[in-house]
Amino acid sequence: MSEMINKTAPEGNVPLYLFRSGKNSHSYEYMGVHNTVKDGKACTVCRVWAPNAQAVAITGDFCEWDPEKYPLTKIDDAVWEGYTDEPLKEFDAYKLVITAEDGTVTYKADPYAFHAETRPGTASRYYDISGYKWNDGRWFEHKKKYPHYNQPVNIYEMHAGSWRKYADGSVFSYDKLGDELIPYVQEMGFTHIELMPLTEYPFDASWGYQVTGYFAPTSRYGTPKDFMRFIDRCHQAGIGVIMDWVPGHFPRDEAGLAKFDGMPCYEYADPRKGEHKEWGTLVFDYGRTEVISFLMSSALFWVKEYHIDGLRVDAVASMLYLDYNRKDGEWIPNKNGGKENLEAIAFLQRLNEAVFAEVPEVMMIAEESTAWPMVTKPTYMGGLGFNYKWNMGWMNDMLRYMSLDPLFRKGSHNSLTFSFFYAFSENFILPISHDEVVYGKGSLYNKMPGTPEEKAAGVRCFATYMMAHPGKKLQFMGTEFSQHDEWNFNEELEWNLLQYPEHQMAQTFFKKLNAFYLGRSELWEIDFSWEGFSWISNDDDSQSVIAFRRFDREGNELIAVCNFLPVRRENYCIGVPYAGVYEEVFTSDAAEFGGTGFTNGSNIRTVDEAMHGFEQSISLTLPENTVFFLRCKRKAAKKPAAKTTKTTAKKPAAKTALKAPAKKAEIAKKPAVKAPAKKAEAKPAAKPAAKAPAKKADSKWKRFLNWWKGIISHVT
């Protein structure tokens, strides 16, 4: 637990008081190294939290690394402060000289440094991040006008060092990455880029998940302002930027946070709480107020100073559970005897409150891999306060299902349908992430069974179903052109595969699928409520077929029909809500994608045969391993009642080929389904009746598209 706040701290020092109280969410403005003016003279001030240190000094290029020239003094019982004679110059390397209570001297990087040496160097570098002129005002206006909750979110997750490389194996700079990545993401139809961690880290093989610089973008690719310019260019091109952020653990590197002042400082002292043995890392002490200020400040730093649109918070489950990856006897129960880390829960709630208080439009995304309740519910309701959660259950169930031999899929039908029972219990993002294409798990292509043609069809089938499923979307780089090998952070993606037709067709498929998703508000406008979804059929386990409806707020709807077997189904009938004519508007089986080219066409007429709770039905052909979408292009008009007179006898009602469509209040009920193999995360609320389309055109999407096209023309 935290130390008592020093009540004798310098009077009127509000930043210090707030820092010690765990309430300074801008502590990077006070702590660390900053050029300033003291007694009318330019100099540099250095402030360090080191409560257990015997002595602290700053040294570096500016004093020829003399460890004694600039000692710091305590301004309260835990924070040290000192001034240099001259201001540091940009890129000056420096370190903090920490003398522990036992006399041991360690050279540490500045926890609040804005820039750092490129590994293997471990020194901090002085850098003034102020002065960059941003040009993304229109982007922020758009975000306020069109909240992301009811907008398309299609995320391209990528690792900056291995997306592309130069011929000699060297990595792209932030500027070069912007030159190549931004137009590619635009062309492919993704709305956001998610960057695997770019906070400074020493070990390449950690992929950025073992952080030493929580306020410094890695110098591997350039300077802090180079990174700002990359984000600025993304925004001008209409692309949001999400960054992985790692508050759950940190590495043991001597120059980093580990035993910062000779004792556990940033980490829990007891290894039963303070270590992740599996990862070889240390766990932040969420009970120390100074650690809370440090982490909250880091999150807001990226959102405020770098205009980051969202933070994907890594490994939230490892923070929430005291027994995470620990055996009996290796963890300490909380004060109530439970396994929940109450301090971490309180921290996450305070974190989200602090971020949303300053930037309401930000995306705070939890990578939470368990069934922890109310992750995306407000803190005043007892939730953690995030606004999105990765749907790891859906991901694991579907990847396991798709990897099965088709002969055995009927026995795992619940894996296909179970996610719909809890789809609206949280605000979900459906991920196909980097973790699923490494360590022997195989690429998405190689997860599919069968021949190369069947594998390709399986990828198309799965990806199209993913777009139809409620929730925002994310896929890892390389999937979009069917990379075969697992991801290797040391190598660039297999771009050479695009010389082959099958990979060209795969890329064309993802481009067209993404465009279809962007253009159909039914697939994203109501992602987090039963109002946007309704079953048609979910119980045909013997044929591995499901069908369902998606709606937008204006009542427009699409029907998704999914055949998950490599078997063509002729004359397959499904119930439909309206009498009239339907048309197929997208299929994963198109010839240009490498499919058979079969289509049900644009003249699919209903018949008066009740099915799936509807009065009408249609007959379809379901190509093998295919998902396609239908819409009702023309509803049958209601036939007016026949007029009668006193002089004529009543005529019998004429038989009609088509019954009038059901009234809104008579929307079909969900057919009975088989009991799932496991409990649903939450019981869905009763589904409201879907409204009939009010308009043909999706005016909201047109406004969005026009805006996007407008700013694309201003890419720098």
**Contact present, 365 and 242 (Cβ < 8 Å):** yes
**Contact present, 470 and 520 (Cβ < 8 Å):** no
Of the candidates 511, 401, 415, 381, the residue with the CA atom closest to the CA atom of residue 447: 401
> How would you classify the pairing of strands 199-200 and 213-217?
antiparallel
Residue 373: asked if its preceding bond is cis (omega within 30°), the reply is no
Of the candidates 402, 476, 397, the residue with the CA atom closest to the CA atom of residue 625: 402
The CA distance from 447 to 451, in Å, is: 12
Which residues neighbour 10 within 8 Å (Cβ) at sequence distance 6 or greater? Answer: 16, 75, 76
Sheet of 73-74, strands arranged across: 32-38, 41-49, 79-83, 73-74
Question: Which residue in 157, 200, 290, 314 is the catalytic one?
Answer: 314
Q: Which residue has the tokens 């253009």?
A: 519
Active site residue 436: no
Q: 680 is written with which tokens?
A: 């649903």
Q: Which residue has the tokens 């189904």?
A: 569
Of the candidates 460, 468, 467, 462, the residue with the CA atom closest to the CA atom of residue 594: 460
> How would you classify the pairing of strands 240-245 and 192-195?
parallel
The CA distance from 427 to 330, in Å, is: 34
Of the candidates 634, 654, 620, 470, the residue with the CA atom closest to the CA atom of residue 545: 620
Question: Which residue in 136, 309, 367, 527 is the catalytic one?
Answer: 367
**Contact present, 618 and 605 (Cβ < 8 Å):** yes
Of the candidates 216, 235, 142, 242, the residue with the CA atom closest to the CA atom of residue 473: 242
The CA distance from 25 to 700, in Å, is: 37
DSSP classification of residue 71: B
374-396 burial code (b ≥16 CB/10 A, e <16): bbbbbbeeebbbbbbbbbbbbbe
The CA distance from 312 to 300, in Å, is: 13
Active site residue 314: yes
The CA distance from 138 to 136, in Å, is: 6
**Contact present, 572 and 621 (Cβ < 8 Å):** yes
User: Which residues are identified as catalytic?
Assistant: 314, 367
